[in-house]
């Protein structure tokens, strides 16, 4: 199934829209597999540099992970202060998720934003954003996390640096040259 909607300015992006390659993750901050995928994705983005744009979309599996939704809205609260990516990094740091309210408060302090901005009731203003990401994942065929879309198509395979690099390169759009 193709990605719906396509990557856009409404996404949390690393890189620039219009880059040759795109990678989108539907993730859950409490998911152990997303936690393992995070450094792999970071390495892929680093290796490809300005050739790639990476977008993260929320897909909290709240029935399995009781703290996933509060972590997602905390990340969105941080985004309102321009700190989505630092919060994203903190939420995935360490071997085990630490996503209780006191942890979210501490992460906000560590990245330099008022803790009340990442906790309810302030986060009620960003709940629609998390829901919109989740719904776009459902429309795109996401069934679990992490789900990756490589150049707009659902990626099937082990999430390794080499597998992702191969998939990105093999599905890259052909360069457009001058007409002959």
**Domain map (residue ranges) of the chain:** 12-170
Q: What is the per-residue pLDDT for 171?
A: 86
Q: What is the pTM of this model?
A: 0.93
Q: Looking at the domain that runs over 12-170, which CATH code has it been given?
A: 3.40.30.10
Q: What is the per-residue pLDDT for 37?
A: 98
CB atoms within 10 A of CB 115: 18
Mean of the pLDDT values across residues 122-144?
Answer: 94
Contact 74, 34 (CB under 8 A): no
What does DSSP say about strands 21-27 and 52-58: parallel, antiparallel, or unpaired?
A: parallel
Mean of the pLDDT values across residues 52-76?
Answer: 97
Q: What is the per-residue pLDDT for 176?
A: 54
Question: Which H or E run contains 52?
Answer: strand 52-58
Q: Is the pLDDT reported for residue 125 higher than 80?
A: yes
Mean of the pLDDT values across residues 14-37?
Answer: 97
């Amino acid at each position: 199934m193709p990605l719906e909607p396509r990557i856009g300015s409404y996404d949390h992006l690393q890189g620039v829209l219009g880059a040759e390659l795109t990678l989108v993750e539907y993730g859950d901050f409490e998911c152990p597999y997303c936690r393992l995928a995070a450094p792999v994705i970071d390495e892929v983005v680093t290796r490809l540099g300005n050739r790639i744009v990476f977008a993260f979309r929320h897909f909290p599996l709240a029935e399995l992970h009781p703290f996933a939704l509060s972590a997602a809205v905390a990340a969105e609260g941080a985004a309102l202060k321009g700190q989505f990516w630092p919060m994203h990094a903190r939420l995935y740091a360490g071997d085990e998720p630490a996503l209780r309210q006191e942890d979210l408060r501490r992460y906000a302090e560590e990245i330099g934003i008022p803790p009340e901005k990442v906790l309810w009731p302030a986060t009620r203003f960003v709940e629609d954003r998390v829901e919109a990401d989740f719904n776009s994942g459902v429309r795109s065929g996401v069934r679990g996390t992490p789900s990756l879309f490589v150049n707009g198509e659902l990626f099937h395979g082990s999430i390794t640096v080499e597998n992702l690099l191969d998939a990105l390169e093999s599905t890259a759009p052909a360069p457009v040259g001058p007409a002959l």
